[in-house]
Amino acid sequence: MTIYNAPVEDMLFLYEKLRDNKNYNEIERYKEVTTDLVKNILEEAAKINKNLILPLAKSGDENPTVLENGVVRTPPGYKEAYKKFIEDGWTSLSCDPKYGGQGMPKTVSAFFDEMISSSSLSFKLYSELTLGAYNCIHHHASDEIKNKYLPKMVEGKWSGTMCLTEPVCGTDLGMLKSKAIEQSDGTFKITGQKIFITSGDHDLTENIVHLVIARASDSPQGTKGISLFLVPKFIVNQDGSIGPRNGISTGSIETKMGIKGSATCVLNFDDATGYLIGPKNKGLSQMFTMMNLERIVVGIQGLGLSEIAYQNSLNYAKERKQGKSNNNKSKNGSADLIIEHADIRRTLLNMKSIIEGERALCFWLSQQTEVSLYHKDTKIKQDALDMVSLMTPVVKSLFSDMGMEITSDAMQIFGGYGYTKDQGIEQLYRDNRITPIYEGTNSVQAIDLVFRKLVNKNGDIIDKYISMIKSDLDKNSDELKPFIKTLKIYVDKLSSFSNWMKDKIENSRDDANAASNDYLRVLGYVSVGYAWLKVLGVCYKEYSSNKDFYEDKIQTASFYFNRVLPRIDSHYLSATTGSRYIMDFKFN
């Protein structure tokens, strides 16, 4: 069984020392969120994840969710753990106090998201989609619907889903077939089938609130005719009590490679009663409130699984003896611990440098998210929103792809033991494999980044981001000069790549398409490097106060700057060769 200890020290370091966004610190609602309060929350979160949730990972993998006589049953231990989970208030952590939430910022809740992703991604998904649905309802629904549904969702007694995908459409939602027919009382009858619905049905909550996109009978074809509906598993009476079963049934549960404890369902809607959320035909933009949040959270899933893979790899490398390193001084010829071998050390440092850099970038993004939502100044909000939009596909794709690299490397460190089920390492790889796929595949994210996020109606966003980095590079101290020199080289390369992309978007879209994944990686590696530079600024400034911790950070960052950032060169050179040799190839 895997081990896991939440990296509370690193998280608190970020919260205390990297909370340097002036605009974030001006948000009134978080003035009373102190470091001591955050410390208490994270320490309690670490305990519940280690003691309650971590054991569920193996249980869910060995005893997957099943559909029996129309009832979906979660793995052993899930119901008891979920009851404790909601009693302790973890579903309400970042929710509005108006509906029973604790009102914590994403700078705190993102850390909890990472912890529970490390502990058991399958278990996490039951509450994760609820929070996504909560956010969508909170932003777009009427007060009547909010007051009726949100308190129970915040409490965790009711859960939520996002129902987009159909057999005929995944990415291209304009092809959806689900229909909505308006009734005389203002409700709609929803008919259609949705597939791959995470937490679509289960036995953990009293009710499940489905957010469903469908086309009203008088709406146009394509994405312009999509509306969003709230369709509960059980009709909710006027007094808030549970009424009769709605016209929703579970057709099947997918048999999957990983996240086996999560119920991924085929849902059939047969004249199910639904309630319109927001204006008709504006459903896709409303659903993106949920989807964009989920994309960042999926990136955090990759980060969480990377962290537990690293912890177990490091622990194993300190115990496993095999072969002799170049520094072997044994007189009786005994083997060394594998952590003494240069390649194992390289692999571990690769993991560590990426994970800690990603965590710092995620913390920066969490601050930007809060500014985009709650700052009083409209322009500051919009500028922050542009940064969030730019970074959302980067975090989703880079973190999940790096999760694949890191969980694969963890299996390699464990050798044959990693390939067997006994150690739990191969499960991390299988569980993470979905993260580059769901909530928009990583290639779709890369295309979205290139064609929609670099430049938008508010201007040249990537140029603003690059200018911000360059401005910070000019401000830093002498101690950071070696790091600044290296990062400047790759920021300039990002700038050149961005200009190349803008030209190709206008003049050769196939070239831009073929280069999109490479471009996302280049932007991602630079962004993580920029986050590391912020960390290093603190390390050198406060070195004497915590030498061991800060020296560890400096050495880890040195690996990132010398071993990871240079990956940019190959991505840039490969991508800018164009696409003619790709598009002209004739497949037999």
182 is catalytic: no
The DSSP-derived string for 179-211 is EEEE-TTS-EEEEEEEEEEET-S-SSSSEEEEE
Residues in the chain: 588
Distance CA(323)–CA(320), nearest Å, equals 10
Torsion of CA 485, 490, 495, 498, to 10 degrees: -170
Taking the C-alpha atoms of residue 355 and residue 7, their distance in angstroms, rounded to an integer, is 11
- Cβ contact 408:62 at 8 Å: no
Dist. CA 155–CA 88, nearest whole Å: 10
Provide the 3-class DSSP secondary structure of residue 161.
strand
CA 160 to CA 198: how far, in whole Å?
10
| 561/535 Cα distance (integer angstroms) | 13
**End-to-end CA gap in the chain:** 47
Q: Are strands 179-182 and 188-198 parallel, antiparallel or unpaired?
A: antiparallel
SS3 of residue 269 by DSSP: strand
Helix/strand/coil for 234: strand
- One of 439, 479, 506, 551 is an active-site residue; which one? 439
Dihedrals phi, psi of 348, to nearest 5 degrees: -65, -40
SS (H, E, C) 375-398: CCCHHHHHHHHHHHHHHHHHHHHH
Q: Name the strand (E) or helix (H) holding 163.
A: strand 158-163
Coil vs helix vs strand at 455: strand
- The CA-based diameter of the chain, rounded to the nearest angstrom, is 89
- For residue 586, how many C-alpha atoms fall within 13 Å in the half-sphere facing its CB? 1
CA–CA distance, 444 with 258 (Å, rounded to integer) = 22
What backbone torsions phi and psi does residue 78 show, to the nearest 5 degrees?
-65, -45
Evaluate the CA torsion angle 287, 290, 294, 295 in order and state its sign: positive
Of 4, 156, 38, 36, which Cα lies nearest the Cα of 88? 156
Three-class secondary structure assignment of 512-530: HHHHHHHHHHHHHHHHHHH
Alpha-carbon distance 216 to 199, whole Å? 25
Residue by residue, DSSP assigns 313-381 as HHHHHTT-B-S--TT---SS-PPPBGGGSHHHHHHHHHHHHHHHHHHHHHHHHHHHHHHHHH-S-HHHH
Rounded Cα distance, 239 and 241, in Å: 6
Phi/psi for 480 (5° steps) reads -90, 0
Positions annotated as catalytic residues are: 439
